[in-house]
A and B are shown apart, each in its own frame.
Chain A
Amino acid sequence: MALTQVINAGIGQVTDIKIGGSGSANTLDDYEEGTFTPTINASGFTSITYARQDGHYTKIGNQVCCYITLQWTGTSAAGQFRLEGLPFASANTPSAKGMFVTYSTASTYLNQGSPLMYIGDSQNFIRAYYNDGSAVNVNANASNDWFEGVVVYNT
Chain B
Amino acid sequence: MALTKATKEDKIEVAGAYKAIQIRTVTVISEDDTEISRTFHRRVINPCVKSGDNWSDYDTSSESAEVRGIASAVWTDDIKTAYKNMIDEQEH
| Chain A, interface SS category | loop
| Known A-B contacts A43-B52, A121-B90; A89 and B22 likewise in contact (beta carbons under 8 Å) | yes
Task: Please name all residues of chain A whose beta carbon is closer than 8 Å to the beta carbon of B24 when the two chains form the complex.
Answer: 34
Interface residues on chain B, size class: 20 to 34
**A36 near B41: Cβ-Cβ < 8 Å:** yes
Q: Of the candidates B20, B90, B92, which one forms a contact with A124 in the assembled complex, judged by CB atoms under 8 Å apart?
A: B20
Question: What mask results when residues 99 to 135 of chain A are scored 1 for a CB within 8 Å of chain B, else 0?
Answer: 0000000000000000000001111100100000100
**A36 near B17: Cβ-Cβ < 8 Å:** no
**B15 touches A (CB below 8 Å):** yes
**A89 near B44: Cβ-Cβ < 8 Å:** yes
**A79 touches B (CB below 8 Å):** yes
Question: What mask results when residues 15 to 41 of chain B are scored 1 for a CB within 8 Å of chain A, else 0?
Answer: 111101010100000000000000111
**A153 touches B (CB below 8 Å):** no
Besides the known contacts A35-B42, A133-B92, 15 further A-B residue pairs in the complex with CB atoms under 8 A apart: A34-B39, A34-B41, A34-B42, A35-B40, A35-B41, A37-B43, A85-B43, A87-B43, A88-B44, A89-B15, A89-B18, A89-B20, A89-B46, A122-B83, A124-B44
